[in-house]
Amino acid sequence: MKRFFLLVPMAAVLQFCTYSQTPKTTGMNSPKNNPHYSNTDSTKLNVADTDWEKVLPADVYRVAREKGTERPWSSPLETIKDKGTYYCAVCGNPLFISDTKFESGCGWPSFYQPISKGSVIYTPDNTYGMTRTEVQCGRCKSHLGHVFDDGPPPTGLRYCINGVVLDFKKAQEAEKKFQNQDLKDKKNS
Protein backbone atom coordinates (compact mmCIF):
# COMPACT_ATOMS: atom_id res chain seq x y z
CA MET A 1 0.00 0.00 0.00
CA LYS A 2 2.76 2.40 1.02
CA ARG A 3 4.67 1.73 -2.17
CA PHE A 4 1.64 2.65 -4.24
CA PHE A 5 1.36 6.04 -2.59
CA LEU A 6 5.04 6.75 -3.26
CA LEU A 7 4.76 5.79 -6.91
CA VAL A 8 1.92 8.16 -7.69
CA PRO A 9 3.72 11.41 -6.82
CA MET A 10 6.90 10.16 -8.55
CA ALA A 11 4.95 9.53 -11.73
CA ALA A 12 3.47 13.01 -11.50
CA VAL A 13 6.95 14.52 -11.08
CA LEU A 14 8.34 12.60 -14.06
CA GLN A 15 5.45 13.61 -16.22
CA PHE A 16 5.93 17.25 -15.28
CA CYS A 17 9.66 17.10 -16.06
CA THR A 18 9.06 15.58 -19.49
CA TYR A 19 6.42 18.16 -20.24
CA SER A 20 8.47 21.14 -19.12
CA GLN A 21 11.36 20.09 -21.35
CA THR A 22 9.29 19.53 -24.48
CA PRO A 23 8.69 23.12 -25.64
CA LYS A 24 11.99 24.88 -26.20
CA THR A 25 11.00 28.09 -24.50
CA THR A 26 14.11 29.42 -22.79
CA GLY A 27 15.51 32.27 -24.80
CA MET A 28 13.50 31.19 -27.84
CA ASN A 29 12.77 34.76 -28.84
CA SER A 30 16.24 36.06 -28.02
CA PRO A 31 17.32 38.13 -30.98
CA LYS A 32 20.61 37.19 -32.62
CA ASN A 33 21.80 40.44 -34.21
CA ASN A 34 19.93 43.03 -32.23
CA PRO A 35 22.32 45.75 -30.95
CA HIS A 36 19.56 47.30 -28.80
CA TYR A 37 18.86 44.13 -26.79
CA SER A 38 19.94 44.16 -23.14
CA ASN A 39 18.51 42.65 -19.94
CA THR A 40 20.32 45.22 -17.78
CA ASP A 41 20.48 48.53 -19.70
CA SER A 42 17.35 50.52 -18.84
CA THR A 43 18.13 53.49 -21.13
CA LYS A 44 14.98 54.40 -23.06
CA LEU A 45 15.17 53.59 -26.76
CA ASN A 46 13.95 55.65 -29.67
CA VAL A 47 14.67 53.46 -32.67
CA ALA A 48 12.93 53.93 -36.03
CA ASP A 49 10.71 51.10 -37.23
CA THR A 50 12.82 50.81 -40.38
CA ASP A 51 15.77 49.95 -38.13
CA TRP A 52 13.76 47.54 -35.96
CA GLU A 53 12.64 45.76 -39.10
CA LYS A 54 16.27 44.97 -39.94
CA VAL A 55 17.01 43.25 -36.62
CA LEU A 56 13.72 41.65 -35.53
CA PRO A 57 12.23 38.36 -36.73
CA ALA A 58 9.17 39.07 -38.96
CA ASP A 59 6.60 37.72 -36.46
CA VAL A 60 8.08 39.77 -33.60
CA TYR A 61 8.15 42.90 -35.77
CA ARG A 62 4.52 42.47 -36.85
CA VAL A 63 3.21 42.29 -33.27
CA ALA A 64 5.67 44.67 -31.60
CA ARG A 65 5.90 47.47 -34.17
CA GLU A 66 2.68 47.05 -36.18
CA LYS A 67 0.46 46.26 -33.16
CA GLY A 68 -0.39 42.84 -34.49
CA THR A 69 -1.92 40.02 -32.46
CA GLU A 70 -0.66 36.45 -32.53
CA ARG A 71 -3.16 33.62 -32.93
CA PRO A 72 -4.64 32.58 -29.55
CA TRP A 73 -3.16 29.36 -28.08
CA SER A 74 -0.25 29.62 -30.53
CA SER A 75 2.44 30.56 -27.99
CA PRO A 76 4.24 27.82 -26.02
CA LEU A 77 4.67 30.44 -23.30
CA GLU A 78 0.93 30.51 -22.65
CA THR A 79 0.88 27.26 -20.67
CA ILE A 80 4.36 27.02 -19.14
CA LYS A 81 4.65 27.27 -15.37
CA ASP A 82 8.46 27.41 -15.09
CA LYS A 83 10.01 29.87 -12.67
CA GLY A 84 11.74 32.72 -14.39
CA THR A 85 11.60 36.17 -15.92
CA TYR A 86 9.82 37.37 -19.03
CA TYR A 87 11.77 40.02 -20.96
CA CYS A 88 10.75 42.16 -23.92
CA ALA A 89 11.81 40.18 -27.02
CA VAL A 90 12.52 43.47 -28.81
CA CYS A 91 14.82 45.24 -26.32
CA GLY A 92 15.40 42.85 -23.38
CA ASN A 93 13.61 44.98 -20.78
CA PRO A 94 12.40 42.84 -17.82
CA LEU A 95 8.57 42.85 -17.97
CA PHE A 96 7.01 40.11 -15.82
CA ILE A 97 8.01 37.34 -13.41
CA SER A 98 6.50 33.87 -13.43
CA ASP A 99 5.02 34.30 -9.92
CA THR A 100 2.48 36.76 -11.35
CA LYS A 101 1.48 34.55 -14.29
CA PHE A 102 -1.89 32.83 -14.18
CA GLU A 103 -4.11 30.70 -16.37
CA SER A 104 -6.69 33.05 -17.78
CA GLY A 105 -7.96 30.70 -20.49
CA CYS A 106 -7.89 33.57 -23.00
CA GLY A 107 -5.23 31.96 -25.21
CA TRP A 108 -2.37 34.37 -24.49
CA PRO A 109 0.18 34.46 -21.66
CA SER A 110 -1.50 36.34 -18.79
CA PHE A 111 -0.08 38.13 -15.78
CA TYR A 112 -1.69 40.13 -12.98
CA GLN A 113 1.21 42.56 -12.47
CA PRO A 114 4.30 43.87 -14.29
CA ILE A 115 7.73 43.43 -12.73
CA SER A 116 7.89 47.14 -11.78
CA LYS A 117 5.86 50.28 -12.27
CA GLY A 118 7.94 51.64 -15.14
CA SER A 119 8.48 48.34 -16.96
CA VAL A 120 5.37 48.91 -19.07
CA ILE A 121 3.43 51.98 -20.23
CA TYR A 122 -0.27 52.36 -20.98
CA THR A 123 -2.03 53.93 -23.96
CA PRO A 124 -5.78 54.17 -24.67
CA ASP A 125 -6.73 51.99 -27.63
CA ASN A 126 -10.08 52.63 -29.32
CA THR A 127 -9.54 50.52 -32.43
CA TYR A 128 -11.99 47.83 -33.62
CA GLY A 129 -14.88 49.62 -31.88
CA MET A 130 -13.56 48.67 -28.43
CA THR A 131 -12.31 50.74 -25.53
CA ARG A 132 -9.14 49.01 -24.37
CA THR A 133 -5.84 49.90 -22.75
CA GLU A 134 -2.78 48.99 -24.74
CA VAL A 135 0.33 47.81 -22.90
CA GLN A 136 3.70 48.80 -24.33
CA CYS A 137 7.26 48.08 -23.26
CA GLY A 138 8.50 50.88 -20.98
CA ARG A 139 11.92 50.89 -22.65
CA CYS A 140 11.29 50.52 -26.40
CA LYS A 141 7.55 51.29 -26.63
CA SER A 142 6.83 48.08 -28.49
CA HIS A 143 3.27 46.81 -28.47
CA LEU A 144 2.92 43.92 -26.00
CA GLY A 145 -0.83 43.42 -25.59
CA HIS A 146 -3.67 44.85 -23.50
CA VAL A 147 -4.65 45.08 -19.84
CA PHE A 148 -8.17 44.31 -18.60
CA ASP A 149 -9.76 44.69 -15.18
CA ASP A 150 -11.07 41.12 -14.88
CA GLY A 151 -7.89 39.60 -13.41
CA PRO A 152 -7.33 37.77 -10.12
CA PRO A 153 -6.26 39.27 -6.75
CA PRO A 154 -4.24 41.04 -5.56
CA THR A 155 -4.47 43.53 -8.47
CA GLY A 156 -7.65 42.44 -10.24
CA LEU A 157 -5.82 43.06 -13.51
CA ARG A 158 -5.19 40.78 -16.48
CA TYR A 159 -2.23 41.65 -18.65
CA CYS A 160 -2.95 39.74 -21.84
CA ILE A 161 0.40 39.60 -23.63
CA ASN A 162 1.48 38.22 -27.01
CA GLY A 163 3.95 35.39 -26.34
CA VAL A 164 5.97 36.22 -29.45
CA VAL A 165 7.15 39.52 -27.93
CA LEU A 166 8.21 37.82 -24.69
CA ASP A 167 11.66 36.36 -24.15
CA PHE A 168 11.49 33.89 -21.25
CA LYS A 169 14.53 32.98 -19.21
CA LYS A 170 14.35 30.25 -16.61
CA ALA A 171 15.47 30.91 -13.05
CA GLN A 172 17.95 28.02 -12.88
CA GLU A 173 19.08 28.47 -9.29
CA ALA A 174 15.63 29.00 -7.87
CA GLU A 175 14.40 25.96 -9.72
CA LYS A 176 17.18 23.72 -8.39
CA LYS A 177 16.44 24.76 -4.82
CA PHE A 178 12.75 24.14 -5.36
CA GLN A 179 13.36 20.67 -6.75
CA ASN A 180 15.71 19.72 -3.88
CA GLN A 181 13.14 20.89 -1.37
CA ASP A 182 10.50 18.91 -3.21
CA LEU A 183 12.56 15.70 -2.97
CA LYS A 184 13.27 16.29 0.73
CA ASP A 185 9.56 16.70 1.37
CA LYS A 186 8.87 13.42 -0.40
CA LYS A 187 11.53 11.55 1.62
CA ASN A 188 10.15 12.89 4.88
CA SER A 189 6.56 12.07 4.09
Contact string (CB under 5 A) for Zn ion, positions 119-158, x = contact: ------------------x-xx-x----------------
Q: Which of 60, 90, 144, 160 binds Zn ion (CB under 5 A)?
A: 90
The residues that are catalytic are 160
Q: How many residues bind Zn ion (CB under 5 A)?
A: 8
Contact 41, 140 (CB under 8 A): no
CB of 41 to Zn ion, least distance (A): 11
Determine phi and psi for 3, rounding to 5 degrees. Answer: -60, -40
Helices within the chain (DSSP H only): 2-21, 49-55, 58-66, 172-188
Q: Hey, which residues between 11 and 70 contact Zn ion (CB under 5 A)?
A: none
Q: Cα–Cα distance between 137 and 38 in angstroms, integer?
A: 13
- Report the sign of the C-alpha dihedral through residues 159, 140, 86, 128, in that order: positive
Strand partners, 86: 96, 168
CB of 91 to Zn ion, least distance (A): 3
The reply to whether 88 sits near Zn ion by the rule CB under 5 A is: yes
**DSSP state letter for 71:** P
CB closer to Zn ion, 56 vs 88:
88
CB of 137 to Zn ion, least distance (A): 3
Residues that bind Zn ion (CB under 5 A): 88, 90-91, 93, 137, 139-140, 142
